[in-house]
Chain A
């Protein structure tokens, strides 16, 4: 099972919106609405941000939103803030019954 493909880096200025893509196959992202997203600051454990493609857990800012089209899922951060600078990972359930993470995207706030 190969890792899902994410851009290595995405950047934006404060207040702007950015979108991180997560591309898989019909056996994972495209086949199930079980895509989730995680934020990880340096030296910290990942934080759960989005589940089931577009649902936000309690306590997560509504500046974070998720979507999916075909085999590609996306995470959009609107109103970019300095504290959003972190690594972001997508994950998907797969037809093998296992899970796969994306390659990770470093978000830089300019």
Chain B
């Protein structure tokens, strides 16, 4: 059974940093692109970033470019999101999602339960 479990969320002050983790199991993590997606309270989904199988290529949405960094450790079956210069508008539930052959490679087939991040003083 595929499982994605996010962790690392919490309360952080504006301008602060936070590192989110996503532990993957039940599939061959190293074979697939992975993404981070967030959802602000009462709002829609926002795709943030994705990373290639070997970590050699990444893409970001403009709103987080230069502030967030996606990375992965295939030996640990883990995905990360390093977030810095956090703003109130970054308050959201953050999801990791896989992009496997089951989704045709260009969709998000498995999702974690999400980890909440609150940016507030």
Contact = CB atoms under 8 A, between A and B. Distances in A.
Contacts, number: 70
Interface in A21-66: 32, 34, 36, 38, 40, 45-48, 51-52, 55, 57-58
Interface residues of A, number: 28
Contacts of B106: 32, 34, 36, 51-52, 93
Interface residues of B, number: 24
Contacts of A103: 44
A104 B44 contact: yes
Interface stretch (A11-19, A70-78, A94-102): A94-102
A66 to B, nearest CB: 11
A102 B44 contact: yes
A97 B45 contact: no
Contacts of A46: 45, 95, 108, 111
